[in-house]
Amino acid sequence: MSIWKEYYQPRSIEEAVAVLSSSPAPSNIIAGGTDLMLDLNQGNHPPVNALIDITEIEELKTIDVVNSEIIIGACVTHNQIVKDQNVQNNADALIEACGLIGGPQVRNSATIGGNVAHALPAADGTIGLLSLNTEVEIASATGKRRIPITEFFVGPGRSILEGKAEFVTRFFVPLKKACQGSAFKRIMRAQGIALPILNNSVWIERDGDLIKEVRISIGPAGPTPFRAANTEALLRGEIFSDETIALAQQSILGEAKFRTSPRRATAEYRRQLVTELFRNTIIQAWQRTF
Amino acid sequence: MNNQTLTINVNGKTYQVPPIPGETLSDLLRNRLKLTGTKIACEESECGACTVIMNGESVLSCSTPAIKANGKFILTIEGLAKFEKGELKLHPLQEAFIKNGAVQCGFCIPGQIMTAYALLQHQPSPTSAEIQHALKDTLCRCAGYPTIERSILEAADAVRTGKPVDNDPHVPTSSGGKVVGTAQARPDSVAKVTGAAIYTDDLEFEGMVYGAVRRAMVPHAFLKSINCDKARALPGVHAVMTAEDLPGEKNHGLVIYDWPILVGVGERVRYVGDALAIVAADSTDIAREAAALIEVEFDLQPVISDPVISRHPESTSLHANGNLLKHIKVRKGDVAEGFTQADVIMEEVFHTPSTDHLFMEPECSVAVPTKEGRMEVYVGSQIPYQDRLQVARALGWPEERVRIVGQLMGGGFGGKEDIAGQIHAALLAQKLGRPVKILWDRQESLLVHPKRHATQITVRLGAKNDGTLVSAQTELYGDTGAYASLGEKVLTRATTHSAGPYLIPNVHADCYAMYTNNPPAGAFRGFGVLQSAFAIESVMDMLAEKLGMDRIELRRKNALRVGSETSTGQVLRDSVGLVECIDKVKAEMVRVSGLEEKDLFKPRPVDGAKHLVRGWGFASAFKNTGLGGGADDCSGAHVELYADGKFEVRSAAAELGQGLVTVMQLVVCEELSQEPANVKVLVMDTDLTPNGGPTTASRQTYVTGNASRLAAIAFREHVTGAMAEKFDVSPDLIRFEGSGLQIGDQKLTFPQVYQELVAMGQKTMVEYEYHAPETKPLGVKGDMHVAFSFASQAAEIEVNTNTGEVKVVQVISANDVGKAINPVGLQGQVEGGVVMGVGHTLLEDFITENGVVITDHMSRYRIPSIMHTPKITSIVVEDPTSTGPYGAKGVGEIVLIPTPPAITNALYNITGLRLHNLPVDQEVVLQHIKTGQ
């Protein structure tokens, strides 16, 4: 039994939406396929009627700067991001996150759209985009819409696209302004699946010695990619200091819901790791505001 | 947009094919375009073996739908070398890989080279860090990572400057031989870097069908019923066989025939990998689908998953003779009396996990019935003649009707000694009268083949205040899993080596080799000694601390020396280079660290990063060479001269990537004064090559090395004798030279020598059967083994005190190998051994829960990558053994044995955490750092 029957390579978003809407279920969008092919091969995903490959749609494969935003197509690969001058100049957190995923072979195929659409709570690219206040563009038969990335996820491996003839088309990342900086860091475990046991991204804006604005994302710290909103509120307007960081560390421990993953990390270990990881990440991001 | 034609340009050639649903790019390349240089090792994007270049970027062809390559340019390993004026012109990457010995088993090499090629396209002058980043997910289980990295640096230079890759492999060579001890390229290396090398799965035969096995997937049960109707009805299925259909022997096994070929109705299932039925079909996919359609009912039984519980009298007997495969005993002196003399007694309990070989090439067998009524089995096997015996018995045939044609192997490490798919393929081929291929995927490989024994080891060690060891008592439990495999042999080695490479007058060791419902355990590089060395070398460090004595001095003081008596009562007569290993490692530690001796083992924070702390650890080990224990350890070799003046040496010893073929070649070159290019090597064919015995126990350099050498000498004497008579010249005046035979004043080329021999009716080939010196079984005083290799290692590690992460920074590895016959191969063994040792210490853990395998994918069972590879300094110690070829003894296993305790001893020296089990868990390390517990 073949893992797919039909394989479509539409050349436009409209065409892709049309074939997605008309293909008998189960049918799936495929981009780089680095996750989906494994799931299909290993039987974690049942065989599909149709795969709709969106990587031949040219407008989804580019990174452009328009007005105050970087627009990243859903089919832009991780390596494309890592090498892109505009992303390098504006989104250190995304560069760092995308550079750490897999080896070059995977980064050449795996797309940022796939990373987000897979909706894992600790996907590196996703955690990076989350701190950068990214917006997600979604295409459907009724047209396109833009939503904040925080509204995209509904559970582990589940997004608002579930059960709908929709797919992610583009990401909008605000350009970096003066006194802003971001960073991404993660901690791995030698044994078992090569997913981070903890990752963290921080975007920060400085006003003199004060924290003017900050966004903190952490994974896995709940069923969906997590933003530490309480801690962000706590930090706003504070002086950037060891004392402030210490308060933020306590706050994160209060709001992040760490869980135990069998044979990977206990909740307690994640709690121990997060304080130092966060400290290193926010210091790095802060240094980049100068 | 739904393409009806797939147009693809591969290596400059355009192909047009209809797309096939579900086809990956690697399937297309391998199956339809017959470009089998691209290898499949995991099919889960973990290993990088299938890397090809698509429109200038490296991609994993096993997880890329073929249709994605429509309209694209693909470069595979076959397209890298160019033919210029009829000559093969290798790419500098290929040249450097060959010259440095980065090519071992060769299975990962296409992926390594293509990944490196992509890197050089973007970064013509990569740094080491950039190379490591690029190769991070391209795995090599031979683990020649340092050499691979060096080769890429050299190739980058060559590409940039246009100058050829230099000729120096930069490995320590040996002295004394004309050819032996010099650095030489492997005879199979050009094929392995160009994708021309054929492994079993690359073979195709007319009319071939594909097999699959229905596995029990329950750890313990009685099979109540099996119904194959639906499987038989599936279109494309040619045969389904169950236990009822077995024509011959019902069981297989290397020592005991206790492993069912197929479990029958009413019979006991003993582990998840037990085979219930086999299917042959038009494709592997159909065969697997059919196997899944077979309906089975089980009467589930309580699972025995722990060897200690298995020994309880109330535990169910898994085999007719109970759960105790063997109680192994070592007795020397009187331990009770010994302990009364001790001032200090340590007693500690250790656990080591099961681990998997994770050779890059999954098991594959192709059985081909011949017109003459014989069965040929093409397979990469460590024991071809054992395969022949076992396949023949299963078919109900005499042995001679079966021919094993050994293929290149993508690694073995002990994991290809037992039967895998050989018998199943042969049974289906016998039934159908057509060729049958059975290829295991990675999951099946992980589930089914025997693992390293998980152990529980208790060590009680007594010493006087001056450090003199006086008594050692050990108790071992070994989990041999569902079937015997080589369990008794492995655990005998664990037991006889359990008191370490030390002179101890009183030793008492008991080992219980227990059956359980876990996957069988058998041979795996280190063969039980890895486990016992972890225990004893940990205790040695603990003892040194208790005595307030330097840990190196404690080892040196008690080290086995010439004249020492081992735990089994063997008096060592020569070749005991342990003290030299200890001293040289220590001197190197002092040299590279710049520390004073008294400070060597103190933790040192890294400058500018106080949360990173470095420190050293030390360990020693020994490992037998050869089967020993009273076995007739023998190997045969042929040396033949052909009409074209080329020589060939042949033996059915196995080449798994370790470099035996180079050893055989160099030994014959040495004796016949030939250049390597003039001596071919043929191995592993039971029709064409004499039995070389099992490739196990670090024995082939010694046993088949001796056989090859003595065959060459016998050939030389035969030719010398014949020519002396013919030309009426004294044999003293006849000399083998590179270009021919010097006979007095006359010179004959080798083609002429061949003609003369034929004209005289003399044979052009001699056969030699070598038998190693007699050994004694365990329990009888005398030589249990023909030789031992010795080693010491120092590991410098770095602990992240914020996260508990542990990284191995560098390892100094001194190995007494007797004589380095093949220095390039030796370097590969040393690097690979250390890296595998790092894997066993930091990463590898084959997890079962109540008999169910958790680590059934490569993504769950991780092996070291280039990122885990420390700087490795190899010190070659050559304390020759009188009976080895040129003094050589085994090296394949000793290189890995001291690594785990060297690392865990370093961890203790830095953090105070004494590990009693493996692998290191960073969470436990952090817990200890934070709480002291």
Contacts of A5 in chain B (CB under 8 A): 21
> Rounded to a whole number, what is the distance in Å from the CA of A68 to chain B's nearest CA?
31
Its sign, for the CA torsion B307, B313, B318, B321, is positive
**Predicted local confidence at residue A1, as pLDDT:** 67
Residue B318 is classified by DSSP as: S
Q: Is this complex scored with an ipTM above 0.95?
A: yes
Chain A, nearest residue to B42 by Cα? A38
Is the CB of A9 less than 8 angstroms away from the CB of B138?
no
Q: How far apart are CA B896 and CA B534, in angstroms?
A: 11
Give CA B915 to chain center in angstroms. Answer: 27
> Rounded to a whole number, what is the distance in Å from the CA of A67 to chain B's nearest CA?
31
**Predicted local confidence at residue B173, as pLDDT:** 84
Is the CB of B24 less than 8 angstroms away from the CB of A8?
no
Interface test with B, best of A1, A4, A5, A7 (most B CBs within 10 A): A7
Angle CA(B669)–CA(B675)–CA(B680) in degrees, nearest 5? 70
Residue B895 zone, left/alpha/beta (φ > 0; ψ -120 to 50; rest): alpha
Is the CB of A7 less than 8 angstroms away from the CB of B803?
no
Give B691's Cβ-side CA count (13 Å radius). 12
**Predicted local confidence at residue B692, as pLDDT:** 97
Chain A, nearest residue to B863 by Cα? A191
Is the CB of B63 less than 8 angstroms away from the CB of A38?
yes
- Give the closest of A3, A102, A269 to B137, CB-based: A102
Contacts of B66 in chain A (CB under 8 A): none
Average pLDDT, chain B: 97
Is the CB of B21 less than 8 angstroms away from the CB of A4?
yes
Helix (H) or strand (E) holding B849: strand B848-849
Question: Which stretches within B433-478 are classed as H helix?
Answer: 442-448
The per-residue pLDDT for range B440-492, each reduced to its tens digit, is 999 999 999 999 999 999 999 999 999 999 999 999 999 999 999 999 999 99
- Give the closest of A33, A102, A193 to B64, CB-based: A33
Least Cα distance to A20 among A145, A177, A167 occurs for: A167
Q: How far apart are CA A249 and CA B804, in angstroms?
A: 19
The per-residue pLDDT for range B42-67, each reduced to its tens digit, is 999 999 999 999 999 999 999 999 99
Residue B509 β-bridge partners: B330, B474
Query: Strands A48-53 and A27-30, how do they pair?
Result: parallel
**Predicted local confidence at residue B933, as pLDDT:** 72
Chain B, nearest residue to A275 by Cα? B802
CATH T-level fold of B634-771: Aldehyde Oxidoreductase; domain 4 (3.30.365)
> Rounded to a whole number, what is the distance in Å from the CA of B802 to chain A's nearest CA?
7
Contacts of B288 in chain A (CB under 8 A): none
Is the CB of B1 less than 8 angstroms away from the CB of A11?
yes
My answer on whether omega of the bond before B260 falls inside 30° of 0, hence cis, is no
**Predicted local confidence at residue B175, as pLDDT:** 77
Neighbour count for residue B730 (Cβ, 10 Å): 8
Is the CB of A187 less than 8 angstroms away from the CB of B842?
no
Chain B, nearest residue to A195 by Cα? B859
Neighbour count for residue B697 (Cβ, 10 Å): 28
Least Cα distance to A113 among A201, A32, A199, A27 occurs for: A32
**Would you call A34 an interface residue with chain B, using a CB distance cutoff of 8 Å?**
yes
Is the CB of A106 less than 8 angstroms away from the CB of B60?
yes
Q: Does the pLDDT at position B895 exceed 80? A: yes
Amino acid found at B117: Y
Is the CB of A266 less than 8 angstroms away from the CB of B923?
yes
Q: Which residue, chain included where needed, has tokens 């785990």?
A: B900
Contacts of A1 in chain B (CB under 8 A): 285, 289
What is the interface size between A and B, counted as CB pairs within 8 Å? 131
Q: Are A173 and A129 in contact (CB under 8 A)?
A: yes
Tokens linked to B431:
């039934």
Angle CA(B732)–CA(B738)–CA(B739) in degrees, nearest 5? 100
- As a whole-number percent, the residues of chain B with pLDDT over 90 amount to 98
Chain A, nearest residue to B861 by Cα? A192
**Would you call A14 an interface residue with chain B, using a CB distance cutoff of 8 Å?**
no
What is the per-residue burial (b if ≥16 Cβ within 10 Å, else e) of B207-226? ebbbbbbbbbbbbbbebeeb
Question: Which stretches within B123-168 are classed as H helix?
Answer: 128-134, 145-161
**Would you call A275 an interface residue with chain B, using a CB distance cutoff of 8 Å?**
no
Give CA B415 to chain center in angstroms. Answer: 7
**Which residues lie closer than 8 Å to B761 by C-beta, 6 or more apart?**
none
Tokens linked to B395:
């078919």
The per-residue pLDDT for range B366-379, each reduced to its tens digit, is 999 999 999 999 99
Is the CB of A4 less than 8 angstroms away from the CB of B22?
yes
**Residue B544, SS3?**
helix
Chain B, nearest residue to A188 by Cα? B805
Q: How far apart are CA B512 and CA B327, in angstroms?
A: 5
**Predicted local confidence at residue B1, as pLDDT:** 64
**Would you call A269 an interface residue with chain B, using a CB distance cutoff of 8 Å?**
yes
Q: Does the pLDDT at position B653 exceed 90? A: yes
Please give the CATH number for the structural domain made up of B1-195.
Answer: 1.10.150.120
My answer on whether omega of the bond before B731 falls inside 30° of 0, hence cis, is no
Contacts of A103 in chain B (CB under 8 A): 48, 115, 134-138
- Give the closest of B134, B843, B860 to A104, CB-based: B134
> Rounded to a whole number, what is the distance in Å from the CA of B6 to chain A's nearest CA?
12
Q: Are B306 and A18 in contact (CB under 8 A)?
A: no
Helix axes B529-547, B551-558, angle to 10 degrees: 120
**Would you call A145 an interface residue with chain B, using a CB distance cutoff of 8 Å?**
no
Contacts of B610 in chain A (CB under 8 A): none
CATH T-level fold of B454-627+779-931: Aldehyde Oxidoreductase; domain 4 (3.30.365)
CATH T-level fold of B209-301+360-408+417-448: Aldehyde Oxidoreductase; domain 3 (3.90.1170)
Helix axes B899-911, B823-842, angle to 10 degrees: 50
Is the CB of A30 less than 8 angstroms away from the CB of B51?
no
**Which residues lie closer than 8 Å to B411 by C-beta, 6 or more apart?**
B105, B107, B141, B142, B357, B359, B360, B361, B656, B657
Q: Does the pLDDT at position B3 exceed 80? A: no
Interface test with B, best of A61, A118, A191, A270 (most B CBs within 10 A): A191
Contacts of A265 in chain B (CB under 8 A): 923
Q: Are B825 and B887 in contact (CB under 8 A)?
A: no
Q: How confident is the prediction along chain A (290 residues), in pLDDT tens digits per residue?
A: 689 999 999 999 999 999 999 999 999 999 999 999 999 998 899 999 999 999 999 999 999 999 999 999 999 999 999 999 999 999 999 999 999 999 999 999 999 999 999 999 999 999 999 999 999 999 999 999 999 999 999 999 999 999 899 999 999 999 999 999 999 999 999 998 888 999 999 999 999 999 999 999 999 999 999 999 999 999 999 999 999 999 999 999 999 999 999 989 999 999 999 999 999 999 999 999 99
**Residue B209, SS3?**
strand
Contacts of A2 in chain B (CB under 8 A): 20-22, 285
Q: How far apart are CA B547 and CA B567, in angstroms?
A: 23
Is the CB of B1 less than 8 angstroms away from the CB of A266?
no
Q: How far apart are CA B667 and CA B821, in angstroms?
A: 8
Least Cα distance to B566 among B472, B446, B454 occurs for: B472
> Rounded to a whole number, what is the distance in Å from the CA of A146 to chain B's nearest CA?
27
| One fold for B454-627+779-931 and B634-771 | yes
Interface test with A, best of B2, B293, B917 (most A CBs within 10 A): B2
Tokens linked to B345:
């007694």
Query: What are the two backbone dihedrals, phi and then psi, of residue B51, each rounded to the nearest 5 degrees?
Result: -60, 130
Contacts of B20 in chain A (CB under 8 A): 2
Q: Are B239 and B426 in contact (CB under 8 A)?
A: no
> Rounded to a whole number, what is the distance in Å from the CA of B131 to chain A's nearest CA?
11
- Domain spans, chain B: 1-195, 209-301+360-408+417-448, 454-627+779-931, 634-771
**Which residues lie closer than 8 Å to B280 by C-beta, 6 or more apart?**
B209, B210, B211, B237, B238, B239, B287, B428, B431, B432, B436
The per-residue pLDDT for range B73-99, each reduced to its tens digit, is 999 999 999 988 989 999 999 999 999
The stretch B414-432 carries a mean pLDDT of 98
**Which residues lie closer than 8 Å to B78 by C-beta, 6 or more apart?**
B11, B35, B37, B194, B195, B196
**Predicted local confidence at residue B559, as pLDDT:** 98
